[in-house]
Amino acid sequence: MAQSASPSGALTPQIANVLRGIRAADAGLLAVSEEDGRFLRVLVAARGAKSVLEVGAASGYSGIWLGLGARETGGRVVAIEYDAQRAAAAAANVRNAGLGDVVRVVRGDAFVEIPRLPGTFDFVFLDAWKSDYKKFFDLVFPRLAPGGVFVAHNVVNKKNEMEPFLQTVLAHPALFTTIVSPSHEGMSVSYRVR
């Protein structure tokens, strides 16, 4: 049996070009690393997530990776970005990557926008103001479905900015949490047991 030239799930040239463009324009270093993006894609697909929430979309780099995972599951991503210019860039980048049918970018304050979203979430990715991580967790956790996954970014390289959040997720009775570092930034991955 002949092997295909590229592995299943390989990036199309169109998506690879959009991702490269985002990285090249990322003067503020807001995008996750490629390793972290690939990890998010795997987590969303492996979880079978249908309802994905991203808090802190920046220019859409991580949203594209989340969208690639959600496309595999038939799911949808809502990516919230506070900054109007970044939100517009994220929406354009998502469209240019061919994921406009999977990822919806919402411009606004996540503390206002999240309560407006219907239903529960199977997967949440948090990459916003680090000092607000605990407040975001408190807002979203009641709507994280049993078996849902809550991932927070920068928990290694910016650990000191989010101690209350880390203490909460590491000790929470309804979560299994681990810290991983696909890249140097680190992510907490929490699975909701009940």
| Domains, the chain | 32-192 (3.40.50.150)
- How many C-beta atoms lie closer than 10 Å to residue 87's C-beta? 21
Rg for the chain, CA atoms, rounded? 16
pLDDT reported for residue 27:
66
- Give the per-residue pLDDT at 6: 41
Each residue of 65-100: pLDDT tens digit?
A: 999 999 999 999 999 999 999 999 999 999 999 999
- 108: left (phi > 0), else alpha (psi -120 to 50), else beta? left
pLDDT score of 14: 87
The ranges of the chain with pLDDT < 70 are: 1-9, 27-30
Q: What share of the chain is helix, strand, coil (3-state, %, to 5)?
A: 45, 25, 35
pLDDT at 24: 81
pLDDT of residue 4: 41
Predicted confidence at residue 186, as pLDDT, reads 92
Q: Determine the straight-line distance between the first and last CA of the chain, rounded to whole angstroms.
A: 44
